[in-house]
Structure formats: C-alpha cells, structure tokens
Amino acid sequence: MNISTFYNDPNAEEMIVSATISNQSEFDYIFASLILSEYKVYVSAYQNADNTFCFSPNGSGKIILPQGQEAIIMATAYKDDKPYFCLKKITISSELDISLILKETTSEKLKKKIKRNL
C-alpha cells in the first residue's frame, strides 16, 4: 500500500513526526523508519541538521497519517561491527517527538524482535 492511501482517510491529517536518538553521536550512520503494519506502509526517516529524524516521504518534515493508528518507530546502526537497535510502539497523534536510545544487540535477537513486532 502506498502512503498516498491516507489522503482519502477521514482520520488522516498532516502532521510532523520526529524522533531523537539520545546516543546518536556514537554512530556514523543511523537508519530509522516509521512502520504502519496494518496498512503495510513503511516510511524512511531523513536526518535533519539538528540530528533529529523526520518521517516524511519527501523530507519536508510533514506527513499525512491517520490519527489514532498504531505504528512502530525503529532505528538500527552499527558500531565496531556490532548491531544496535531500538523499536518503539506508538499511537499516531499530531506533533509527535519520540525519544529513542540505540542498544547493542545480536543479529539473531534483532531478527527475532523485528519478526515479533511486525
């Protein structure tokens, strides 16, 4: 399903969803995404100049999403060839600013956690 699907949803509205990763300075690159499993929608994050991550299909910071829907914000990174991961379940509402912290994990634990939550 494409994110444009939400344009016709009566519960959808334009909003800003962002995430701050408290230990982001420890990593060269972080990959973050917003996932709405029920709709099979996945939105990659853009890292802003202030090191926050915004979720929008074009990097504008604004996105149309259905209010009240369950979603997941997920981030991954590598340091010293070890994976780091965080996942947070959220409910979509206007002006979300989510705080996350990446924690060291193993590839196997990472796969299991993703499989369990998606």
pLDDT digits (tens, 9 = 90+) for 2-61: 666 777 888 899 888 899 999 999 999 999 999 998 888 888 999 888 888 998 766 677
In this predicted structure, what is the pLDDT of residue 2? 61
Give the domain 3-117 fold: Immunoglobulin-like (2.60.40)
**3 state DSSP class of 55:** strand
CB 87 within 8 A of CB 103: no
What is the model's pTM? 0.87
Residue 6, token pair as written in the block:
């939400």
| Domains of the chain by residue range | 3-117
Residue-wise pLDDT tens digits, 66-105: 999 999 999 999 999 999 999 999 999 887 889 999 999 9
In this predicted structure, what is the pLDDT of residue 58? 67
Q: Residue 116: CB partners within 8 Å, gap ≥ 6?
A: none
**3 state DSSP class of 64:** strand
